[in-house]
A = this chain, B = another copy of it.
Amino acid sequence: MVGGGPGAFIGAVHRMAAALDGEYELVAGAFSSDPSKSAQTGGALGLDPSRVYDSYQRMAEGEASLPPDERLEIVSVVTPNHLHHPVAKSFLEAGFHVVCDKPLTNTVEDAEELCRLAAGGKLVFAVTYNYTAYPMVKEARARVLAGELGSLRKVVVEYSQGWLRTLLEAEGQKQAEWRGDPTRAGASSALGDIGSHAHDLLRYVTGLETVRLFADLGTVVAGRRLEDDATVLLELDGGTRGVLLTSQISTGERNHLRLRVYGSEAALDWCQEQPDRLRLVAPDGTETILHRGGSSLSEAASSATRLPGGHPEGFIEAFANVYRSVARAVRGGQSGQTHDFPTVQDGARGVHFIHRAVESHRGGGWVDAAYTPPPGGAR
């Protein structure tokens, strides 16, 4: 693991997600750019001190120098955004598989480079767009693919939070601090941090890509250097209309990621804060609420679940689904099977989307947004 030292949030999530199914063992880490903090975290996690590194460069080198059956197999990159590219590049070049947080990189060029490196090395590269790993999101995708909604007409996706309603980055809060700094967060805050999840969720469930977009970005909290609220109007493949709302200043919203898809024959509605449910709506308004664990669910949903219905699964379990699917891809045991996790190409699409939205906002008009990333890694 690179990143995930003291004060980090997502590193611990990655560790719990990897531990849940007993398919991973944490063996090495460069947990912080501060060597003493890295050592502190490594110690707390019970690692062999010889495999707790001062920097990601030394870790890539050090692990690569170990005998093949002793070195790490895969690295988790859980640093601030600007380090995703150099860290992932180092490990790819050293021949390791990668799990990387989103957004993949801060520029499209960097993202494309990672695609090429993964493809060249035939390495697995997953981007933790973890929300698509919820069983009922997989069910939603299966229902759309099966044609249950008819032709898709309108999509509304929203990802709203309220935790940045004050200038938290000025108060020393670590999570807010780097997210509000363009040199580390990149060209965007709200869009990059959470809007990219919404964009990926929309793509995953509908199978549609964005053709054109119009974006309106706003910085609501005085003193902030990046946008903290954005609305993006989308023209999707085939003319399907889309609206993406994202915000970090929507006071009181905890982690409100919701997707609604309206088709000619039915609609669906999924909300991350009640992830075990999927709502389908018939033209006359009759609702069918499917629950994780139900007997009529798709193979995709059923195989992503661990407990019977009524025994709630949550964020960690979904995150663990990414890790479990990646483990299977790395082992390659089920040859010929396509594994279900977000790839480096999905990551590149997300980076491209963020950049086109920023450009639309600057120009005040619609912009083209069609894009095809280079081929990516093993799957």
Q: Which residues of A contact B (CB under 8 A)?
A: 9, 12-13, 15-16, 19-22, 45-46, 149, 153-154, 156, 161-162, 165, 214, 216, 218, 220, 229, 231, 233, 241, 243, 245, 247, 249-256, 260, 262-267, 272-275, 281-291, 293-296, 306-317, 364-366
Give the chain B neighbours of A220 by CB distance below 8 A: 153-154, 241
Partner of A285, one of B274, B291, B306, B307: B291
Interfacial chain B residues near A286, Cβ < 8 Å: 252, 288-291, 294, 296
CA separation between A364 and B19, bound complex, in Å?
A: 51
Evaluate contact between B309 and A315: CB separation under 8 angstroms. no
State how many angstroms separate the Cβ of A273 from the closest Cβ of chain B: 6
**In the complex, what residue of chain B is closest to A20 when comparing beta carbons?**
B16
A149 to B231, CA, bound (A): 22
Q: Compute how far the CA of A112 lies from the CA of B294 in the bound complex, rounded to whole angstroms.
A: 40
Please give 16 more A-B residue pairs, beta carbons under 8 A apart, in addition to A19-B19, A162-B283, A272-B310: A16-B21, A16-B306, A153-B165, A154-B229, A156-B245, A165-B264, A249-B262, A251-B265, A251-B266, A252-B267, A252-B287, A253-B267, A254-B293, A254-B309, A286-B290, A288-B288
Asked whether, in the complex, the Cβ of B251 is within 8 Å of the Cβ of A267, the reply is: yes
A116 to B245, CA, bound (A): 40
> Do residues A311 and B308 form an inter-chain contact, with CB atoms below 8 A?
no
Question: Provided the pairs A218-B241, A296-B284 are in contact, do residues A310 and B255 lie with their beta carbons within 8 angstroms?
Answer: yes
Note all chain B residues with C-beta closer than 8 A to A218: 241
Determine which residue in A252, A267, A291, A315 has the highest number of CB atoms from chain B within 10 A of its CB, and name it: A252
A287 to B290, CA, bound (A): 7
Nearest chain B residue, comparing its CB with the CB of A19: B19
A267 B283 Cβ-Cβ under 8 A: no
Q: List 30 interface pairs A-B (beta carbons < 8 Å), by A numbering.
A: A13-B307, A16-B21, A19-B22, A20-B20, A153-B220, A153-B229, A154-B229, A154-B249, A154-B250, A214-B216, A218-B241, A247-B262, A250-B260, A251-B263, A252-B286, A254-B293, A254-B310, A255-B308, A255-B309, A255-B311, A272-B312, A275-B312, A285-B291, A285-B293, A286-B290, A286-B296, A311-B314, A311-B315, A316-B317, A364-B366
Q: Is the CB of A229 within 8 A of B241?
A: yes
